[in-house]
Amino acid sequence: MLAGTAGIAAELGLLGHYEDAAQWIPLVVLGTGAGSCIWVALRPSRPSVRALQAVMAACALAGLLGVYFHLRANFEFEMEMMLETLPARAEDASFASLGLLAESLRGALPALAPAAMVQLGLLGMLAGWRHPALHADRRTGRAET
């Protein structure tokens, strides 16, 4: 998970994905995710694992939000382009809708790229699901058998 957070953050940094507030969302979530991964690795405990799970849930949600933002931006751009070139006839409306969707998915912004954060978030939540630190005896700190 640490390699995944570092890789995605590095890619976003190289792409200049920090121009406005919405573009900082994945960078903040990934940084927090890296910190929580390190915390669990160094001090596995119930609070550290729960924090990892919460941050990874935020990572998955940020990924879904990113897919929405990318698709919306592509859709708006393609809509403008299509309206400039499409004849204003009613029978072309259904074809235009399908074409608009297809072009939005293939648009300038990689529409499904943020889904990598969804995958990373699900992996993080799964890693904490049956983590031994969640089942440790609270008095001794050792895993229950």
Task: Dump pLDDT digits (tens) for 64-106.
Answer: 999 999 999 888 888 887 777 765 544 455 556 777 777 777 8
Task: With CA atoms as reference, report the closest residue to 4 among 136, 126, 118, 130.
Answer: 118
Q: What is the pLDDT of residue 101?
A: 77
Q: Per the confidence metrics, is the pTM higher than 0.85?
A: no
For the chain, which ranges sit under pLDDT 50?
Answer: 89-91, 145
Residue-wise over 90-116: b if at least 16 C-beta within 10 A, else e? eeeeeebeeebeebbeebeebbebbbb
Do residues 129 and 49 lie in contact, with contact meaning Cβ atoms separated by under 8 Å? no
Residue 112 lies in a domain: yes
Residue 22 lies in a domain: yes
Residue 32 lies in a domain: yes
Q: What is the pLDDT of residue 27?
A: 96
Q: What is the pLDDT of residue 67?
A: 94
Q: 């919405």: which residue's tokens?
A: 22
Count the Cβ atoms, other than its own, within 10 Å of residue 123. 14
- Contacts of residues 72-81 at CB distance under 8 Å and 24 or more positions apart, as own/partner, are 73/107, 73/109, 74/103, 74/104, 74/105, 74/107, 74/108, 74/109, 74/111, 75/100, 75/104, 75/107, 77/107, 77/108, 78/103, 78/104, 78/107
Residue 16 lies in a domain: yes
Could you list the residue range(s) of the whole structural domain that residue 18 is in? 2-135
Residue 143 lies in a domain: no
Residue 141 lies in a domain: no
pLDDT > 90: percent of the chain: 59
Q: What is the pLDDT of residue 82?
A: 73
Domain count, the chain: 1
Residue 74 lies in a domain: yes
Residue 144 lies in a domain: no
Q: What is the pLDDT of residue 109?
A: 82
